Amino acid sequence: MAAVVPPTARSRSRSKTRSEPTNHSNPEPPADKLVEVLIQLLEAGSTPWRREWDSTGGGHHVNLLTGHRYQGANPILLCLGMHLRGSGLPYWCGFAEARAQGIFPRKGSQGVRILRPQLNRRSVAGRSGNPDTLDRTSASNTADGTRAERTWVSFRPVVVFNAGDLDGEGLGELIAQRQREAGMLARPEPERLAAAESLLGSWPVPVGFGGERAFYAPEIDRIQLPERQAFRSAAGFYATWAHEAIHSTGHASRLNRDLSGRCGSSAYAREELVAELGSVLLGDRLEIGSALENHAAYLGHWIELLRQSPQVLYQVLGEARQAVELVVGTGGAALGERQTPPR
């Protein structure tokens, strides 16, 4: 794994039967249940999101009925949901949409709460010709300059159920259809690796190669990586690069996260968790997986963070999602056009 080297520190980085669910008006496990499961996994030395990319198993989490991909921070929440119920199927749908198809969650099954983006609009008044009365990033003037519409994205929690917890006629065919689509949409590895090279290569942070450690140095805004041949696989090389790119989004000129924490501090552990989860989300977008070498030294610090409040997980996921969107925004064309629409 990789690290951030704070401005005042030297390199401290790492080596390479049909029935409705009970209480379906609120069927998802509470946030602290997911966090409890995650803490148990971390205590056992497991980071469930780390894996080689496997398109044959339906690598992306998708809607069972539509095939739309879940994006943003949702792949990690759904990954935890799979571990919570021991499922190997990355297919999900909401209670109402499943019921409309004659498919129902089994008795006692629980859903997973994910975050669905929604676009909000509001008309606001402004003085003609004075754009400073508006948020330039989210509002635009009308033709006469006297009115504007402010737009912003918010996220609302929705509950989805895993295909492994569903019953109903036609369920088997839906699963088979999603698996066939995953096979048809799967890109060959050379194509996926070339896309990763293009996207990460377009990220405007210089990269140096050499040495045995990977790290990001914010004081000079530079990523350092071992030589490519030092990695056990090309996917592992790009996953490590992605991790460091996520760190670099925290630079003061970008998302301005706290990168000053020393090893063992709460700030350091939080930033490492942002980069860990961000690289997983970016690896999902790039279809390279997130098979990074384990670094047990961080696990205890992450456990401490998560025990502070269940909301820490969602806060960190929000920061990781922002970081990924920033990186993808610099070279998103490299991701290709063969993916299903995002959800």
The residue range of the domain holding 93 is 3-16+18-115+158-335
| pLDDT at residue 230 greater than cutoff 80 | yes
Q: Which residue has the higher pLDDT, 207 or 329?
A: 207
Q: Does residue 224 sit within a domain?
A: yes
Residue 343 forms part of a structural domain = no
Between the alpha carbon of residue 72 and those of residues 67, 225, 322, the distances in Å are 16, 27, 9
| Confidence category of residue 296, pLDDT binned at 50, 70, 90 | low
Using a pLDDT cut of 90, give the percent of the chain over it: 41
Other CB atoms within a 10 A radius of the CB of residue 52 amount to 13
Band (71; pLDDT cuts 50, 70, 90): confident
Q: Let me know whether 78 and 101 are in one domain.
A: yes
Same domain, 57 and 143: no
Flag whether 340 is in a domain.
Answer: no
| Tokens 């990789």, residue located | 2
Q: What's the rounded mean pLDDT across residues 141-149?
A: 60
Which tops the pLDDT comparison, 19 or 108?
108
Tell me the pLDDT band of 5, cut-offs 50, 70 and 90.
Answer: low
| pLDDT the model gives residue 241 | 96
Q: How many CB atoms lie within 10 A of CB 142?
A: 12
Same domain, 125 and 225: no
CA 341, CA 194: separation in Å to the nearest integer? 21
Question: Of 106, 41, 38, whose CA–CA distance to 77 is shortest?
Answer: 38
* Domain final position from 97, 128, 156: 156
Q: Is residue 137 domain-shared with residue 210, that is, in the same domain? A: no
pTM for the model stands at 0.74
Q: Is the pLDDT of residue 206 over 80?
A: yes
Pull the structure tokens for residue 323.
Answer: 């970081």
Is residue 7 domain-shared with residue 38, that is, in the same domain?
yes
pLDDT band at 117 (very low <50, low <70, confident <90, very high): confident
pLDDT score, position 341: 39
Q: Which residue has the higher pLDDT, 36 or 271?
A: 271
The rounded distance, in Å, linking the Cα atoms of 266 and 263 is 9
Based on the fold, state whether residues 151 and 299 are members of the same structural domain: no
- pLDDT for position 335: 59
Last residue of a domain, one of 131, 156, 181: 156
Q: Who wins on pLDDT, 182 or 259? A: 259
* Mean pLDDT, rounded, of the chain: 80
Has residue 200 got a pLDDT over 70?
yes
Q: Is residue 295 part of a domain?
A: yes
Lowest mean pLDDT among 2-6, 93-97, 248-252: 2-6
State the average pLDDT over residues 189-218. Answer: 95
Q: Which residue has the higher pLDDT, 323 or 48?
A: 323
96, 124, 156 - which closes a domain: 156
Same domain, 125 and 195: no
pLDDT for the residue numbered 194: 95
> Is 32 within the bounds of a domain?
yes
* Predicted pLDDT at 327: 96
Q: For residues 37 and 140, state if they share a domain.
A: no
Query: Are 58 and 182 part of one and the same domain?
Result: yes
* Domains of the chain: total: 2
pLDDT at residue number 3: 61
Instruction: Say whether pLDDT at 14 is over 50.
Output: no
Q: Are residues 87 and 141 in the same domain?
A: no
DSSP secondary structure code for residue 163 in this structure:
G
Asked, for residue 292, whether it belongs to a domain, the answer is yes
Residue 9 has pLDDT above 60, yes or no: no
Q: How many CB atoms lie within 10 A of CB 237?
A: 24
Residue 13 has pLDDT above 60, yes or no: no
Question: In terms of domains, do 141 and 267 share one?
Answer: no
Residue 342 domain-assigned? no
- Residue 131's pLDDT band (boundaries 50, 70, 90)? very low
Is 341 inside any structural domain? no
Give the DSSP letter of residue 170. Answer: T
pLDDT average, residue stretch 89-94: 93
Q: Minimum mean pLDDT among 30-44, 68-82, 140-154, 265-279: which range?
A: 140-154
Q: Which of 234, 223, 179, 239 is nearest to 51 (CA)?
A: 239
105, 120: one domain = no
